[in-house]
Amino acid sequence: MTRSDPPQPEALTPEAERELFETYRSDPTERNLNRILSQYERLVYKIAQKYHQAGVEMDDLVQVGMMGLWLAIQRFDLDKGVRFTTYAYQTIQGEILRYFRDCEWAMRVPRSLKNRCLKVLKEREKLGQELGRDPTLQELSEALGLSLEETAEALELGSAYHPASIVEELEARPVGPGGGVLGSTPYSPEEGVLFNQLMKQLSPLEEKVMRMRIEDGLTQQEIADILGVSQMYISRLQRRVLEKLRTWLDPEILEEQGLL
Amino acid sequence: MSGPKSETIEIRLPVSAEYLTALRLFVSGLAGRLGYTVEQIDELKLAIGEAFLTLVSRLDPQVGYVRIHWELGQNSLTVTLSDPAGKTRHLTTAPIYRVLDRLVEEGEVVPLEEEGEVRIRFPRPEIGRS
């Protein structure tokens, strides 16, 4: 236990837990939110400690974990018959793992920029939920009190990261709805052949994403939701795919193969 | 900036992939001021950045620079990338543009062989219009 650990409140009975959440749902004031946060913030510290390692600030992990707790509170369904602690544990842990995925690389860049990147990513998600749509860059900048350029820089930094291990993990993951059936979109026969040839150049995951994107017409966000990753991850994957295709799609080579 | 009259901007970048990040940041800064969402800006960066890299990969660095012209119209943002030396050929047979055109949700990516240009057009966002 570290000096900054919050005190351990008394464990709630299932009835008391339900009452706490029902009060917040019917009267979503800051006061009622804080009651829930203070009841469960120690859970955040416990999980953050589990993942704390050299080179990573405990404060950063707690900050990310608190965002996970906030998300869990917003998403928790009282009627699913699951205790909040069980549900929140998964969400908080997921946020911390995503932090490592999205921002750990930034230890090579100045700490201030790393922190800004993290704040921008979190605020984007939070604002998106509040607005019910993706925020504009202006809205995001204003919410953060940053200039447009500072926000853009942080987002660009985020998009420069390539997490190889996550790719391997996702390769094995089955895709839910969508998956693409060639011919379901209006390709000409030549384009259909070309498209299939293109897909052969990609990894299974890249192919899944490109088919969902091009054939099923899903947005980056929709694909991200299906695969359980961030929209930024899909954006990065698309860029990587295009890097591969740019090399491969040389007209002379295609002509040789009879594809043009 | 989002007023009724059209405005134009022109930038020139050396024929080098090293300028991609600078270009992407420029796209973010400009599109951010025009009221695009973060995801739309991602698409703009993708389309413009990839079109730039494709041109760069087909150009001799001796050509000098890639010209990027931006037209901020009332209803759309049009970005035209071209090689002023006119040495870029086979634009319309570069399938990467077909892939790009399908990838962008709201805009279009059109290679124009006659003009030796790639034209990218995106509608102006509803939120950002005044």
Percentage of chain A beyond pLDDT 90 is 14
Measure A217 CA to nearest chain B CA, in Å.
Answer: 8
**Same topology between domain A1-106 and domain A109-161:** no
Whether the per-residue pLDDT at A29 is higher than 90: the answer is no
Q: Choose among B38, B95, B102: nearest Cβ to A135.
A: B38
Question: What is the model's pTM?
Answer: 0.55
Instruction: Please name the CATH architecture into which domain A164-256 falls.
Output: Orthogonal Bundle (1.10)
Q: Choose among A124, A239, A246: nearest Cβ to B38.
A: A124
Query: Residue A237: its chain B contacts at CB < 8 A?
Result: none
Residue B41 touches chain A, beta carbons under 8 Å: yes
3-state secondary structure of B112: strand
Q: Choose among B32, B46, B95: nearest Cβ to A148.
A: B32
Determine phi and psi for A117, rounding to 5 degrees: -60, -45
Query: Residue B32: its chain A contacts at CB < 8 A?
Result: 136-138, 141, 148, 151-152
Residue B97 touches chain A, beta carbons under 8 Å: no
Q: Are strands B108-112 and B76-82 parallel, antiparallel or unpaired?
A: unpaired
Check the CA dihedral B81-B86-B92-B93 and report its sign: negative
Residue B36 touches chain A, beta carbons under 8 Å: yes
Instruction: Give the domain ranges of chain B.
Output: 7-123
In the predicted model, what is the mean pLDDT of residues A39-51?
90
**CA atoms lying within 13 Å on the CB side of residue B96:** 29
Q: What H or E segment, with its residue span, contains residue B70?
A: strand B65-72
CATH of A109-161, one of 3.40.367.20, 2.40.128.30, 1.10.10.10, 3.20.20.70: 1.10.10.10
Q: For residue A15, list its beta bridge partners.
A: none
Rounded to an integer, what distance in angstroms lies between the CA atom of residue A45 and that of residue A94?
14
Under 8 Å CB pairs connecting chains A and B tally to: 104
pLDDT score at A177: 35
Q: Choose among B39, B49, B102: nearest Cβ to A220.
A: B39
Query: Residue B111: its chain A contacts at CB < 8 A?
Result: none
- In chain B, which residue's Cα lies nearest the Cα of A195? B99
Whether the per-residue pLDDT at B52 is higher than 50: the answer is yes
The band of A206, judged by pLDDT with boundaries at 50, 70 and 90, is confident
Across the interface, do A134 and B102 touch by the CB < 8 Å criterion?
no
pLDDT in tens, A208-230: 888 888 777 788 888 877 776 77
Residue B99 touches chain A, beta carbons under 8 Å: yes
3-state secondary structure of B1: coil
Q: Picking from A5-14, A35-44, A123-132, which range would have the lowest pLDDT averaged per residue?
A: A5-14
Output the DSSP codes for A48-87: HHHH--TTS-HHHHHHHHHHHHHHHHHH--GGG---HHHH
Residue A182 touches chain B, beta carbons under 8 Å: no
CB B38 within 8 A of CB B83: no
pLDDT score at A182: 33
Query: Residue B55: its chain A contacts at CB < 8 A?
Result: none
Instruction: Give the domain ranges of chain A.
Output: 1-106, 109-161, 164-256
pLDDT in tens, A48-87: 888 786 566 788 788 888 888 988 898 888 887 888 998 8
Across the interface, do B25 and A152 touch by the CB < 8 Å criterion?
yes
Query: Residue B38: its chain A contacts at CB < 8 A?
Result: 124, 134-137, 140, 155
Give the A window 84-143 contacts with B, CB below 8 Å. Answer: 124, 133-138, 140-141
pLDDT in tens, B95-130: 677 777 777 777 888 888 777 788 999 999 875 454
Q: Which fold has domain A1-106?
A: Four Helix Bundle (Hemerythrin (Met), subunit A) (1.20.120)
Q: Choose among B25, B37, B102: nearest Cβ to A134.
A: B37
Residue A153 touches chain B, beta carbons under 8 Å: yes
Rounded to an integer, what distance in angstroms lies between the CA atom of residue A132 and that of residue B40?
16
In the predicted model, what is the mean pLDDT of residues A148-170?
62
pLDDT in tens, B36-49: 998 889 889 888 98
Across the interface, do B25 and A151 touch by the CB < 8 Å criterion?
no
How large is the ipTM? 0.72
Q: For residue B8, list its beta bridge partners.
A: B71
Q: Yes or no: is domain B7-123 CATH 3.40.50.920?
A: no
